Structure 1
Amino acid sequence: MKTKKEIVAIVVLYNPDDKVYRTIKEYENLVNRVILVDNSLQSNGTKFKDLNFVKYIPLFQNKGIAYALNKGIKESNEKYILTMDQDSHIKGSLINAYLSFLNKNDEKKIGALTCQYNTDRNAKKPRTGFEKVKLSMQSGTLFKRDTFNKIGYFNEQLFLDGVDYEYFLRMNQADLQLIRINPAVLDHQPATTRILKLGFGKLKYGIASPVRYYYQARNLLWTAKKYKDPKLYFILTVKLLKIVILFDNKKRYLRAFNQGIKDANYNKLGKYTYKN
């Protein structure tokens, strides 16, 4: 019988504020413990010192999402690893849905369980059943420790965006399944939402900094080429069209995006220092 005592949550922090503290407090009694890996330049450990279920690891520099996740995974020993962003809100129903599936199904060929993502741009509600999917996001996904033992850790050279896509494609290549548990829903906040009014309707879309679009362009193209995945090429095209059609400061975004494409073609990865 699998229980929450077999689950560790790894949360990557970056300049956490009091709101993040309240988010971390929500994990109490939902998992065995929480490991916070902080990419901030300074320690923020005092913010979480009263949470006895938390282990805090400061890095004193931004080493990227992949490095931070890997650090947390290596510092833990639980059988299952829930990876989370600092602004994703966990619920007991998410953990219960995962445990219910694990206790009723053979997990031999499964690499990870993922969820539906409820955002202000795309509302989702719990549904019945589960299904095999190829791609998802790492925040809110429950990985088996055996998966990391079999195919390795997250690719630290990608640094930021696309780390999850690369890992899930590597899982797929190794014949390890990614299963979406439809009753599991995570409240998630990717990027900043903007609204464009169109007649009687409106279009909601996400926007982030130019450097994020550098990483998205570079890592999507590099991963698409490596795994020959057409969906990533489609996502890359959509992101480019968003810049051209919807964004202000198009030149800045296009310059970052094009640099990402160039670096992907030359296999130039790692941390990027963006210049305006």
Structure 2
Amino acid sequence: MKVGSVVVLYNFNESFLKNLELLKKYVDFIVLVDNSSVSSQNLFEEFIGDGLVYIPLYGNFGIATALNKGMEVCINQNCDWALNLDQDSTFYNDIIAVYRKYINNNTCTNIMGLCPQYFTYQNNPKLNESSIQVKETIQSGTLFNIEKYLKLGFFKDDYFIDYVDFEYCYRAEKQGYIFMRCNSAALIHNKDEAVFDKDYKYYREIKCFKYRHHYMYPSETRTYYVFRNGMDVFFTYKKISVLINLLTRIVKCILFEKNKMGQLKAMLNGFRDYKRKKYGINK
């Protein structure tokens, strides 16, 4: 079983190289797809050719386009599975070893992908040896079956970012494929949609008696994509959870957001462009 990995980069820093060293130990082949405007090939010279390919796009073409380009290389390298990874995700443990064990011990006829648990700033999961079917998962940390990826088709380029992964999960579900979460695999995932706030950093802690909630300040750009793509996903797949997420964002914006007008305008623009069927990058 040959396992490849597709890592999407964008204005990354050299700390990513530590992740890369680990990744090289876990997988058989790596594709780095760089959405940055400037090539960083010089940073990877020592790795290129040694089971690694670096593809600079010289511009931000979005997560889906980058993933599709990387998956194409994995296909050409005869990989059986491909791990998708963000630059800001780090390994808590050897998730590939966990995935290999699951694949070797289970029938994977209808499995599109395997995913881990995620440690985030507000999520601290308990690891165990069980596995469970999930309706959706983010792409970072998910191991995709190449054969089934070819049957289902590419990630949706029109979305650019946000809901690219969930749309793929729902599309897979319609075709009878499933995603399994291996609860002993874990990834440390950092949210990348927040903007820095001098008072609350990236988020604001909301306290009510024993209840604690972290409201993360999203950028207007990401809010636009969330609402534009989210509306399309909701009406395409009739997923109530997506609608609830969008409505919850509106309520949280009204209650906790400092930049209420900017955020509400971004939501409105996203909904407007969904109605116009205007997709791709928001210029």
TM-score (norm 2): 0.91
Unaligned runs of 5+ in 1: none
Write the mapping of 1:141-152 to structure 2, written as runs, cut at 5 A: 141-152=142-153
The residue matched to 2:23 in structure 1 has which SS? coil
Match for residue 13 of structure 1 among 9, 29, 40: 9
Q: Measure the CA separation in 1 of the matches of 2:206 and 2:176.
A: 44
Aligned partners of 1:229, 1:163: CA distance in 2, in Å? 15
Deviation by residue 1:71-129 (Cα, 9 ceiling, x = unmatched): 00001231101001101012553111111110011011111111111111111231221
**More deviation in 85-94 or 38-47?**
85-94
Residue 262 of structure 2 is aligned to residue 221 of structure 1: no
Answer whether contact 2:206 2:215 (CA < 8 A) is retained. no
In the alignment, the residues of structure 1 paired with residue 30 and residue 254 of structure 2 have an alpha-carbon distance, to the nearest angstrom, of 41
What does residue 82 of structure 1 align with?
83
In structure 2, runs of 5+ residues without a counterpart are: 195-201
Contact preservation (8 Å) 2:4, 2:82: yes
After TM superposition, the runs of 4+ consecutive aligned structure 1 residues lying more than 3 A away are 199-202
Counterpart for residue 99 of structure 1: 100
Q: How does 1:1-276 map to 2 (within 5 A)?
A: 2=1, 6-51=2-47, 52-76=50-74, 77-191=78-192, 192=194, 193-198=202-207, 201=210, 202-273=212-283
Q: Is the 8 A contact 2:26 2:94 kept in 1?
A: no
For residues 10 and 40 of structure 1, the distance between their equivalents in structure 2, rounded to whole angstroms, comes to: 16
Deviations 1:124-182 (A, max 9, x none): 23122111111110000000001221110100000100000100000000000111111
**Identity across aligned pairs (percent)?**
32
Secondary structure in 2 matching 1:132: strand
Secondary structure of the residue that 1:22 maps to in structure 2?
helix
CA distance in 1, matches of 2:267, 2:226: 8
Bigger Cα displacement from structure 2, 59-68 vs 228-237: 228-237
- SS at the partner of 2:191? coil
SS at match of 1:70: helix
Instruction: Check 1:10–1:127 CA distance in 2 against 1; reply closer, same or farther (3 A cut).
Output: same
- Structure 1 range deviating more: 170-179 or 184-193: 184-193
State the distance in 1 between where 2:24 and 2:261 align.
45
Check conservation: 2:37, 2:60, Cα contact below 8 A. Answer: yes
Q: Helix, strand or coil: the match of 1:50?
A: coil
Deviates more, 1:73-82 or 1:187-196: 187-196
Amino acid at match of 1:106: T
CA distance in 2, matches of 1:47, 1:167: 32
> Does the 8 Å contact 2:86/2:140 carry over to 1?
yes
Asked if structure 2 preserves the Cα contact closer than 8 Å seen for 1:121 and 1:205, the reply is no
Question: 1:210-230, CA deviations, whole angstroms, 9 ceiling, x for partnerless residues?
Answer: 100000011111111011111
Q: SS of the counterpart of 2:79?
A: coil
Q: CA 1:234 to 1:197, structure 2 compared with 1: closer, same or farther past 3 Å? A: closer
- Answer yes or no: is the 8 Å Cα contact 2:81–2:144 preserved in 1: yes
Distance (whole Å) between structure 2 residues aligned to residue 166 and residue 203 of structure 1: 27
**Structure 1's 96 and 210: CA in aligned 2 closer, same or farther, altered over 3 A?**
same
